[in-house]
Amino acid sequence: MSAANIASPPFRASADTVGFDDVLGAAARIAPHAHATPVLRSRTLDALAGCELHFKAEHLQRSGAFKFRGACNAVWSLDDAQAARGVVTHSSGNHGGALALAARTRRIGCHVVVPEGAVAAKLAAIAAYGATLHRCEPTIDAREAMCEQVRQATGAELVHPYTDPRVIAGQATAVLELLSGPAVFDAVVVPVGGGGLASGSAITLAACAPGTRLWLAEPAGAAETAASLQRGERVTRFVPDTICDGLRGTLGAPNFELLRRHAASVLVVDDDATLHAMRLLWRHCKQLVEPSSAIALAVVLANPEHFAGQRVGIVLSGGNVDLDGLPALLAG
């Protein structure tokens, strides 16, 4: 059996104690399975933004999103007895697809609870990777309740989309790769929904580039992270209203604590700005990314006072777009 098919030692950290050593461990664990994605440049977008942009192309990651990093780290952290029982999660799309693919790399079962109304293309990808889908009402409470039912019935290991410490450590490897290049960044911008990528990025920057500021991009129609950090406590009662379907989740408790500890800042934009950024990335970089990814460019363009003259890393988090709905999405 090759090294790529042997599980690494079990992951020991809790969500409250995830540290840079866990990120380094995750990077080694997922290396045989995940892509080292490229960093893209565009002189035209540099001129429009008034700064030097470096796009970490996680939409070219396996399963089409950075989520494969965290899912892969979680799956390959399991001991053999845990792995034999499979994994379960709830997801509106990208995490479900990532976990299904990660489970397939280890040849174990995967169950994904999906809310009604999720993007059809993402659900099709989850099923194509071999997962069993379980449908529920489109609320966080319904998703978690169904997930627990499946876990109890199957004995599968729960891999939460953003509060699982194995997921946080895995997501952190995207910015770790970005920082491994020759560029030194003044700022890094990542989207924020549940907070797995955001909190993981905060851990990596604190260890590797403490002088680099972390900015989080959030849609105005689901800006609970901005409200939470401003109030000093999690805001969990809100009804999301945004085209950024991957950013509609509630900020996790451990993610909130990590972001507050590392003094992350949030910038909020409306959906029109995000769609404009999505069109710009297609036109000038020839890259198709989903709205939940394009929002990171949108906040840079909308807030030149924070980025003028700087070198800025932007994580393009995913490219799983519903092609049937694309003409309507990009119209205008």
Domain ranges of the chain: 16-64+164-330, 67-158
Residue 313 in 3-state DSSP?
Answer: strand
Cβ-Cβ contacts under 8 Å for 182 (sequence gap 6 or more): none
Confidence of residue 10 (pLDDT cuts 50, 70, 90): low
CA distances to 175, 297, 307, 325 from 289, rounded to whole Å, are 18, 11, 22, 13
Q: What is the pLDDT of residue 207?
A: 97
Q: Is the pLDDT of residue 11 over 70?
A: no
Pick the CATH number of 16-64+164-330 from 3.40.930.10, 3.40.50.1100, 3.40.250.10, 3.40.50.2300: 3.40.50.1100
**pLDDT, position 2:** 36
Per-residue model confidence as pLDDT tens digits over 119-128:
777 788 899 9
Rounded average pLDDT over 130-134: 95
Tokens of 178: 């970005």
Record the pTM.
Answer: 0.93
CB 78 within 8 A of CB 331: no
pLDDT of residue 326: 83
Cα–Cα distance, 73 to 28 (Å, whole number)? 9
Q: Give yes or no for a contact between 189 and 93, defined as CB atoms under 8 angstroms apart.
A: no
Sign of CA dihedral 47, 50, 56, 59: negative
Averaged pLDDT score across all residues of the chain: 93
16-64+164-330 and 67-158: identical CATH topology:
yes
Report the pLDDT value the prediction gives residue 189, as an integer from 0 to 100: 98
CATH of range 67-158; options 3.40.720.10, 3.40.50.1100, 3.40.50.2000, 3.40.50.720:
3.40.50.1100
Alpha-carbon distance 105 to 144, whole Å?
25
